[in-house]
A = this chain, B = another copy of it.
Amino acid sequence: MKWTSIFAIVVLALGVLCWGQRLLEIPEYDGRDRVHELTNKNYKTVMKKYDIMVIYYHKAIGENLMARKQLEVEELALELAAQVLDDLHDKDIGFGLVDVKKDVAVAKKLGLEEVDSIYIFIDDEIIEYDGELAAETLVEFLYDVIKDPVEIINNERELKGFFNLVEDIKLVGYFKNEDSLSFIEYDDAAEEFHPFVKFFATFNPQIATNLKLDLNEVNFYEPFMDEPVIIPGKPYTEAELIDYIEEHDRPTLRKLEPHSMYETWEDDINGQHIVAFAEESDPDGFEFLEILKEVAGVNTENPDLSILWIDPDDFPLLVPYWEKTFGIDLSSPQIGVVDVKDADSIWMEMDDEENMPTANELDIWIEEVLVGKIDPNDNEDHDDFDDIDSEDSDEEKEKKDNEEEDDADKNDDEINYNDD
């Protein structure tokens, strides 16, 4: 594909900069064509040329102009990623496109399944990337991909670094050494989840003592939880570890991250997400996040609860749009329930940003969400319950009757929520 746009020339313009500036100049696309269009004929040859192959399995083009334009923007992101990684010294990373309609055979042979996803082929593994299609986010993700799947903790300071990582699921095991059979099983399991789940190990008995780990034992940490769970039944086979992680891969509290945002969003519960907005670098946001973590800690055994934390700082371009769509002000923390189909939502009332809800209040609110008493689809007419009582449909009547029963049963504190 040829690029005749303004991008072709920009890189030349950088030639006029002095060195000092150039060291910090974020690269623009230079217009050279690096992304391959994979076909049944060329895909094997192309893929052999690279250590790692990044393949965008995209919607069919040719159907309409808009889809083609959209693909061109996405392809620009891939071209920029390919250009930047051209300079990487120790790995050859190739980029390719597979069209869902034109290249059915290639997709089948490579095992591509979800359209609009990126598949990364490295050694014998295939990693699915379902995050933001921007060069920055994808390239940063690829740096994680080429790291070892298990990181070794050698000393106290590295252990502190381990404890400092709280946003992903992480595991840590204590093994005799790299040749130990248990470690090899662990390492194989790590490859299955790399780089989404973080695997650590130590061979140092002192570090193991600090982690309260026996030999060949593995601790599993949910995101944002200080206390790990010891995976039962050591020593574990690769399959046992994989099973355990797959059973526990939806955390009680998880963060929306650009490199996996679409995948996380698709993993809704009954078509809804409990979404919490909190800016960690703001004292109010930090405070609310602490409360959230406390509530998550209490509910860690509840499989029906997965709160999605979004830090607005990570998605600055979406903030005004979210504010408008949800009718909320993101300059202070918010928690609500969002219907993923129609974007209906309902938000907990926090009348004063200096008065956050207590963990207990938040816990009660969440419980009401889980039993369906707080439902984004009730949002519009909730305020008018009394007025429109006589016009209720049978379905609504039944629902409200159930709600009243719930009330009587549980004697909950009253919760206010926002209705606009």
Contact = CB atoms under 8 A, between A and B. Distances in A.
Contacts of A158: 283-284, 286-287
Interface in A86-138: 86-90, 132, 134-137
Interface in A26-47: 26-28
A321 B27 contact: yes
Interface centre among A28, A265, A287 (most CB of B within 10 A): A287
Interface string A279-299: 011111111001100000000
B161 A282 contact: yes
Interface string A255-294: 0000001100100100000000000111111110011000
A300 interface: no
Nearest to A338: B23
A331 B27 contact: no
B20 A341 contact: yes
Contact of A283 (B161, B317, B331, B354): B161
Interface stretch (A9-17, A185-193, A405-413): A9-17
Given A283-B161, A321-B87, A66 B12 contact: yes
A412 B364 CA distance: 64
Contact of A320 (B13, B88, B329): B88
B323 A87 contact: yes
B70 A10 contact: yes
B6 A316 contact: no
- Secondary structure call for the A interface: helix
Given A18-B341, A283-B162, A134 B10 contact: no
A139 B316 contact: yes
Interface in A147-171: 147, 151-155, 157-162, 164-165
A340 B89 CA distance: 23
A13 B22 CA distance: 36
B19 A343 contact: yes
Contacts of A19: 340-343
A343 B22 CA distance: 9
A85 B26 CA distance: 23
A313 interface: yes
A338 B24 CA distance: 13
A284 to B, nearest CB: 7
A134 B16 CA distance: 20
A393 interface: no
A14 B23 CA distance: 36
Interface in A307-344: 312-313, 315-325, 329, 331, 338, 340-343
Closest 8 CB pairs of A and B: A161-B286, A87-B320, A13-B66, A161-B283, A158-B283, A140-B316, A157-B287, A20-B340
Interface of A: 5-7, 9-10, 12-16, 18-24, 26-28, 65-67, 69-70, 72-73, 80, 84-90, 132, 134-137, 139-140, 143, 147, 151-155, 157-162, 164-165, 200, 261-262, 265, 268, 280-287, 290-291, 312-313, 315-325, 329, 331, 338, 340-343, 354, 356
19 contacts: A6-B69, A6-B72, A9-B65, A13-B67, A15-B66, A16-B67, A19-B343, A23-B322, A27-B321, A28-B73, A85-B320, A89-B324, A151-B282, A152-B354, A157-B291, A158-B286, A160-B290, A161-B283, A161-B290
